[in-house]
Amino acid sequence: MTSNFAIAIVGATGSVGETLLQILEERDFPISDLHLLASNESAGRTLAYRGRNLRVRAVDGFDFRTVQLVFFAADPSVTLAHADAVRKAGCSLIDVTGALPSDVAPRVVPEVNGALISGEAPFAVTSPSSVAVAVSLVLGALREHVQVRRLVIDAGLAVSSRGREGVSELARQTAELLNGRSVEPRLFDRQMAFNVLAQVDEPDAEGHGRLERRVNADIKALFADEALNVAVSCHQVPVFFGDSLSVTVQASTPVELGKVIAALDAAAGIELVDAGDYPTVIGDAVGQDEVYVGRVRRGIDDPCELSLWIVSDNVRKGAALNAVQLAELLIKHHL
């Protein structure tokens, strides 16, 4: 029944790109032809797929008419540089970089607003920021029980949100400090080891970072609710992999905790951890498809308040897996 598809991955050598490749293989995605693309510097490397070594080619000059679907997992600027050519080639695209506006490439998490994907190919879809994917999955599962009026998201991001350089920089700084040497920060603007950085990118004139704006817009788009009030603070924590999210919801009516817990327990893609215990990125979320939720509780002062702790693999469910799930949805609609 299923036909096979010619696919390209732009940014194949990055951590999201490599995880994409791995998940396509794991989920047995029907591929006839696979093109791995990257910047000129990374071209020439090889990556393994189903036991074969595939050579990475430069994205510049690639003919998008030879594929039906492209994943963009490099820099937002790379998405922007090629989106027009992709469209003109009649090729569908899934962007994990958030470079395109919502009216061009709507933000979709299959479990939350997958119904948004309709019509005919070519499709253009955005996989939202990892923070928005995790939070919307959880709040989406509660839609029948909790009408969210206001949301405060405090996100502790792992250094892998800065790619492989982030991971090696935290390791280097930690080793230097443990050996009693002083640290000269490179990738981050401060000492990252044993420290929490207040922001993950350059704030704009109003003081909000690019990712904070993106999470805010993602969540409102995913719930198609422009009136929703979403406060977002993103911090960089000395953790290698995974997002650690503290979420406080103000609902319009008192929260019925029993129903909330039952709904989370029943939801696909969510692993609920019992009261008293709690999940962490290490040992729970990292390497897993599920988003983990714990510390589900009502406010001390306000029965309409709900607090949650969410951990998620930022590279996997937060980006690569959601993108592949989007591709699976596109297939259903005759990509």
Binding positions for a second copy, rule: CB under 8 A: 150, 152, 154, 156, 170-171, 174-175, 178, 190-191, 194-199, 202-203, 206-208, 212-213, 216, 228-233, 235, 237-240, 244, 246, 248, 250, 275-276, 278-283, 294-302, 305, 307, 309, 311
CA distance 154 to 151: 10
**In the chain, what's the furthest Cα-to-Cα distance?**
62
Distance CA 165, CA 240 (A): 11
CB of residue 104 to a second copy, shortest distance in Å: 22
Nearer to a second copy, 16 or 260 (CB): 260
Closest by Cα among 40, 28, 15, 14 to 241: 15
User: What is the spatial distance between Cα 13 and Cα 188, in angstroms, rounded to a whole number?
Assistant: 22
Q: Is the Cβ of residue 13 or residue 160 nearer to a second copy in the bound state?
A: 160
For residue 240, the minimal CB distance to a second copy (Å) is: 5
Q: Whose CA is closest to 129, among 319, 335, 327, 303?
A: 319
Helix, strand, or coil (residue 125): strand
Residue 74 near residue 39 (C-beta atoms within 8 A): yes
Task: Check: CB of residue 19 under 8 Å from CB of residue 25.
Answer: no
CB of 317 to a second copy, least distance (A): 17
Nearest approach in angstroms of CB 67 to a second copy is 37
Cα distances from 91 to residues 44, 122, 253, in angstroms, run 25, 5, 45
Q: How far is the CB of 202 from a second copy (least distance, A)?
A: 8
* 122 versus 294: smaller Cβ distance to a second copy: 294
**Tokens for 308?**
């949650």
Q: Pick the closer one to a second copy by CB: 39 or 248.
A: 248
Nearer to a second copy, 83 or 157 (CB): 157
- The residue (of 36 and 306) whose beta carbon lies closer to a second copy is 306
Q: How far is the CB of 178 from a second copy (least distance, A)?
A: 6
Residue 123 main-chain phi, psi, to 5 deg: -100, 150
